[in-house]
Amino acid sequence: MRESIRNDVWRKLFWLWLSLAIGSGAVIAFVERNGQPLKALLEVEAAILVTVVAVYPLMLFCNKALIDHLQELVSANIELLEVIGAAIAQRDSETSLHNYRVAIYAIHLAEAIGLPPLKIAELIKGVFLHDIGTILFSDELLLKPGKLTPDEFEIVKTHTIKGSELIRKTSWLTEADEVIRFHHEKYGGTGYMENLAGKYIPLNARIFSIVDVFDILTSKRPYREAYTFNKAMRILDEGSGTQFDPELLTCFHKIAKSLYDSVVDINEEEAREQLRGLLKQYF
């Protein structure tokens, strides 16, 4: 964001200079054609130029202050995403490390397929907020030690809709809606809540589905050890075309091993720093 605003300032400076240059040329041509007093008109031109040169540094200063203020707001919003994501994860006995790793995987997969920066920013928000609807459920239901009854499972499934409704109350978070609402849809059409299939599932939700499951498989869980990289990829391949987008999965294959090696042994703070480096490009 900082870079885009700075570039906009320099574009304005260039066009201002070009306008003055063209205007000066037009004035001189008019004078030469009509025999007007050239000296007086050039003095006016000089006064305009001096005024611009004097005022523009102030404009640059104001723009710098605006850039700094916007960057502070962006940083605060990113920290808010992390806090909310951590609160959701810890309620389900998770840690922020899962969110950080999934975000890293998601960004790299999105970049590999050429997803526009604005869509990548939306994807990142979705990673941290995907299960936000679960905060509306009681601990008795969400943390039930045994298997959920069919009725209980139907209630839990509504967390996608409830989460979507929650984030619509703030414009900055509504961009996470594609992931929140559709991250449990399956490519073959057997997911929930809307039973979407194939390309009808929003792209960001299809990206998230792959990287979220991959990180779950390669992470140690309370009930099992982490699966090896090869076993995790085999499980993903078994779901190609039914649970996962086969084209995205093929693309993920090309980058998965190097990404896995870069994050498999890092701690939460190291993952956070790695992710922060990536976020600078999109916020």
Residues 161 and 64 in one domain: no
Mean pLDDT by 10 residues, the chain (283 residues): 55 55 52 54 57 59 59 72 84 80 97 97 96 92 90 96 92 93 97 97 98 96 90 98 98 97 94 92 88
What backbone phi and psi angles, to 5 degrees, belong to 129? Answer: -110, 5
Structural domain that includes position 171: 92-279
Q: Are residues 66 and 119 in the same domain?
A: no
| CATH number of the structural domain spanning residue 238 | 1.10.3210.10
Examine the domain organization and report whether 131 and 232 are in the same domain: yes
- Structure tokens given for 171: 């414009």
* Count of residues making up the chain: 283
The reply to whether 137 and 10 lie within a common domain is no
Neighbours of 146 (CB within 10 A): 5
Q: Are residues 68 and 107 in the same domain?
A: no
In a domain, 84, yes or no: no
C-beta separation of 167 from 129 below 8 A:
yes
Domain end marker among 22, 49, 76:
76
- Residue 86 included in any domain: no
| C-alpha gyration radius of the chain | 27
Phi-psi region of 241 (alpha: psi -120 to 50; beta: other; left: phi over 0): left
Token pair, residue 76, equals 């605060």
Global pTM reads 0.77
- Domains of the chain: total: 2
**Rounded distance between C-alpha atoms, residue 163 and residue 155, angstroms:** 13
Q: Which helix (H) or strand (E) holds 47?
A: helix 38-91
Query: Is 81 a member of any domain?
Result: no
pLDDT for 82 equals: 85
CA-CA distance, 211 to 205, in Å (whole number)?
10
* Same domain flag for 150 and 48: no
- What is the predicted pLDDT for the residue at 3? 56
Q: Are residues 188 and 266 in the same domain?
A: yes
Residues 69 and 199 in one domain: no
End-to-end alpha carbon distance in the chain: 6
CA 9 to chain centre: 25
